[in-house]
Structure 1
Amino acid sequence: MIWLALLLTAAGCYAFKLAGLSVPERVLSHPLTDRIGVLIPPALLGALIAVQVLASGRSLVVDARVAALGVAAVLLCLRAPFLVVVCAGAAAAAVLRALGWMG
């Protein structure tokens, strides 16, 4: 059953890719398509971050992950290197959890 689902998913992904390749050039070069194409990746990234930081199962949770995201956001605004942002966010979450704050 799992292999059938895997094969169907793979076939669906391939069909979806083929459908994207068959879109006419006039549709792809339209200004609205360009604007939408630029806006979709940041919106999806924001949604993924929100779900990973604020959700635990089906409930909303405010814990050390929110503080870590805040630290990372401040460092990004200060244009810190990406590795520094990631390490500082992880360290903030680790310290808060070690102290027992924001579980």
Structure 2
Amino acid sequence: MDEELHERIRDVVASVPKGTVATYGDVAKIAGASTPRLVGRVLAEDGHDLPWHRVLRADGTPAPHLAREQLARLRAEGVLAEGRRVDLRRYRWRAP
């Protein structure tokens, strides 16, 4: 992955507002990435300083290994899950 794409992905994730969520696919589309997996890769390798918890899977669920922390962080921002799923119709960020 080139450095420009890497930075675009980071910029998109950083711009997801508090109280909203985006999917990996949303971020990939906005950043111009070929696949949502690249977003996951950037967050795993270089996302510790980003609001990574605002990025969910396409079905509104968090990554299984981060679910407890991710849902707690979202809840603290007013994003409520039903079970382990966030209602994307209600909380999904619509990029300008």
TM range (shorter): under 0.3
Q: Relative contact order (C-alpha < 8 Å, sep 6+): which is higher?
A: 2
Q: What is the TM-score of this pair, normalised by structure 2?
A: 0.26
Determine which structure has the larger strand proportion and give its number. 2
Determine which structure has the larger helix proportion and give its number. 1
Q: For the pair shown, which has the larger CA radius of gyration, 1 or 2?
A: 1
